[in-house]
A and B are shown apart, each in its own frame.
Chain A
Amino acid sequence: MLYFEKRDTISARIKIIIPLISILIGILFGALAIVVVGINPYEVYKSLFINAFGSWYAFSETLVASTPLLLITAGLVLVFKMGIWNIGAYGQYIMGAIFSSYFAIFMPPDISKFMMLSLMFFGGALGGAIWAAIPAALKVFWEVNEVITTLLMNYIALYILKFFMYGPWKNPTSYGFPLSKPFPASAQLPVLFNHTRVNLGLFFAVAAIIAIWFIISKTKFGYEVKVIGNNPITAKYAGISVGKNIIIAMIISGALAGIAGMVQVSGIIHFLQVKINANYGYTSIIVAWISYLNPVLCFISSILFGGLESGGYSIQISMRVSYGIVGLIESIALFSIVGSQIFLNYKLRWKK
């Protein structure tokens, strides 16, 4: 008979094995779906891997996808540590893209590149921060559950984006496609390595995760975040202002998602459109979760999931497998990781 026995301590080994197995389960289910369509899953995964890590160019595309993931994840780590479930990175990312695009579209294109990019950077951060501050305020002042508000605000953000793209910001020469006019050169983030799309955004992302690590492990604010996340009543007892800290953390989290949106439009797409890969906002939840909110592990997992994203695009073209497979792998992996929490506290034993 199989039975559970309580673990006394959680070993590092089990903490590493669980996410790996979770991803493996995701991959197995993905394989099943590929078989159903009548394609050899081994070939698909091989192609996916090669297109993600097989060459410098492939890897550079992986880094391109990892950049927004890491930026958003950095912010999510902070709020998740606090026990605040911000599901709204999707919307915060969109608002960041809209706010930063405003400058790219409406500022005179001949202002200096530094000036333009700074405006776009802070605009993106502001857009995301506003979108996160609203649910934070609702939670702090009226005790409205942030899971619901952040989630619903994603749709509002999407429709605001659609409004601008089909309406006032539509490029008159785009033949009816919902696109803005292209960004001027001054509004494009500089590329870090020639012949790739890896841009300054990667630097922002690495800086962000290091900053979040520093905040959590070295600062007073980070200490307060940990105490609130573990026991808000003890936090209040110690004189920590719970509401103020929730709002600050949400603003930081939203700002980072907004910067991710800015990086995507300014560094990769170079115009604003309806499809700006806002799904990174959901994928980042998986990245943060699978890394136990540990910044170092977040760095590794965001590259892993970045590879899955960029390799996924390629197999769509090369193997004619739907990109949806990637979503399937990701969501099954999240299911497995959430479901396997029990193995952190219990071990499975076999006794006849």
Chain B
Amino acid sequence: MKNNIVLRAVNITKKFPETIANEDINFSLRESEIHALLGENGAGKTTFMNILYGIYMPTSGKIYINDSEAEIKTPQDAIKYGIGMIHQHFMLVEPLTVLENVILGLKDQGITIKKKEIKQKLREIANLYSLEVDPDKKIWQLSVGEQQKVEIIKVLFRGANILILDEPTAVLRPQETEPLFDILRKMKKDGKSIIFITHKLDEVMAVSDKISILRKGRLVETVKKDSVTKIELSQMMVGRTVLFNFDKKEKNAEKNLLNIQGIDVFSKQQGIKVIEDANLNVKKGEILGIAGISGNGQQELVQAVAGLRKVSKGKVTFKGRDISNKSPRHIAQIGINYIPADRIGMGLASELSCVDNAILRNYYKKPISSGCIINYKKSEAHTREIVKTFNIDVADIYAPIKLLSGGNMQKLLFARELFEKPELLIASYPTRGLDIASTEFVRKQMLKIRDEDMSVILISEDLDEILSISDRIAVIYKGKIMGVANAQEIDKNTIGLLMAGTRLEDI
């Protein structure tokens, strides 16, 4: 017997002033089902979820919960109907404890907090779904994976039967993904229904029962997982076949461009050495991949090269000249450009326009400015050139850049750095959070500049990405370089061992 339909969305359309974000979407979710919502950036996944969760009102269309029409005007309504949402960016209060966060906003708690009862209920939830978190710990003491657990607990505590997870794996380390999937499977077994938003095909294949594909605001198709392949899914997502393999020209990079010689980097915030005695060199015309689990010092290492962190021991040389502890602008001017990992946090000014963001690297140089005056006509032309060459989807280049989708923002940032014609490009997680088409585009660009004899340092946690485009691969673990090898001479297993702290020479 088939399970009941718990949620049905009929002919949902959501129009924004400039665009139609959702058009005529029909979607249904059954009991005990993990339903993946797959689509590129800007396909309308998040808008649709926000409609289900009462953050937006649809322009037209209806939602049925358990076969009766539901009016979801606010998230409170959604919670009443048993819908819970786990946002990509957590909605937790850092100085409060887990328990306090769980009950935050609940109205039926009375004046005092009944800690015992709540803890009892938390234990039940923990046992059912293996969601163990110490309820007395403060949020800031928890890892990202644990914080996500707290978000899920919060939703379950409110009695949700339908859980919406918005790109839950985007913030997780690779090894935290599988435990999350286990939790999802246990919830499914218990009769919960789950909508899982993602654009990662592997995850869809690993955990979902059904897959709905969104493209340009329309629901293209809903398929059973067992009846499709990854290749077919990717075709449905982008509307054309995507190349997963790049043909990389063979070349021999010989000349040294950048030398990192025994550097230490000290972190004030953490009060420890985050990089210890790192030695690394980058040759002219090669892509050096740096693999490692996030948070092992790769950010600090490249930020030290880019002049954004102090080198406390050792030195960095570029074309034979010592550049350690030079200013970020000096380093950019001699030909090292850096694409930071968290583009909203560093690299872009989200409230400012595309033009203002596009000239961040050259606003002080001719021809964009002369004397102390910026020529905004030339700035606009520069921006249009960037937008055109990189095919960035921008409605109005004078609108705040935060209105662009993540992929387009990244393209603009990437293009801005490339337009500076760097000799060395440092790219931190350049494809994180991007859809397939943008990912492919960014990777091809990196290969293209390599073929033009520029060099790239690529930081990524996606081993396939690193293996497919790097010439050499370095692995970092707890601030130390575990080893460097040619890409052809190393396999995923070896890299995995190095990422876990084995030295290459010990293998």
Contacts and interface: CB of A to CB of B under 8 A. Distances in A.
Q: Which 5 A-B pairs have the closest CB atoms?
A: A239-B329, A230-B349, A239-B328, A231-B349, A233-B346
A223 B363 contact: yes
A112 interface: no
B394 interface: no
B415 interface: no
Q: How large is the interface on B (under 10, 10 to 19, 20 to 34, 35 or more residues)?
A: 35 or more
A98 to B, nearest CB: 32
B289 to A, nearest CB: 23
B57 interface: yes
A237 B340 contact: yes
B332 interface: yes
Contacts of B350: 230-231
A219 B373 contact: yes
B73 A238 contact: no
A236 B309 CA distance: 11
Contacts, number: 75
A175 interface: no
Interface stretch (A1-9, A18-26, A126-134, A289-297): A1-9
A255 to B, nearest CB: 18
Contacts of B361: 238
B56 interface: yes
Given A237-B340, A238-B329, A239-B328, A223 B374 contact: yes
A227 B356 contact: yes
Contact of B372 (A221, A227, A233): A221
Contacts of B348: 231, 234
A234 B17 contact: no
Interface of A: 1, 3-6, 8-9, 218-223, 226-227, 230-231, 233-239, 349, 351
Give the residue among B345, B349, B350 with the most A Cβ atoms within 10 A.
B349
Interface residue SS majority, chain B: loop
A239 B348 CA distance: 13
Contacts of B373: 218-220
Contact of A218 (B56, B345, B374): B374
A237 B338 contact: yes
Give the residue among A9, A222, A231, A351 with the most B Cβ atoms within 10 A.
A231
Contact of A226 (B329, B356, B372): B356
24 contacts: A1-B73, A5-B56, A6-B56, A9-B17, A218-B373, A218-B374, A220-B372, A220-B373, A220-B374, A221-B372, A223-B356, A223-B359, A227-B349, A227-B352, A230-B350, A231-B346, A233-B345, A234-B347, A234-B360, A236-B308, A237-B308, A237-B347, A239-B330, A349-B57
A309 to B, nearest CB: 33
Given A218-B373, A237-B347, A3 B16 contact: no
Contacts of A234: 346-349, 360
B33 to A, nearest CB: 29
Nearest to B376: A218
Contacts of A1: 73
B67 interface: no
Nearest to A239: B329
B369 A239 contact: no
A129 B506 CA distance: 64
Nearest to B331: A239
A16 B373 CA distance: 31
Contacts of A6: 55-56
Nearest to A226: B352
B352 A230 contact: yes
B360 A5 contact: no
Give the residue among A6, A235, A238, A349 with the most B Cβ atoms within 10 A.
A238
B364 interface: yes
Interface string B340-382: 1000011111111000100111011000010011101000000
A233 B376 CA distance: 24
Given A8-B16, A233-B345, A239-B327, 14 more contacts: A4-B74, A220-B363, A220-B372, A220-B373, A226-B356, A230-B351, A231-B346, A231-B348, A234-B346, A236-B308, A237-B338, A238-B329, A238-B332, A349-B73
Nearest to A5: B57
Interface string B478-497: 00000000000000000000
Contacts of A220: 363-364, 369, 372-374
A6 B47 CA distance: 12
A5 B71 CA distance: 14
A3 B363 contact: no
A263 to B, nearest CB: 27
B89 to A, nearest CB: 15
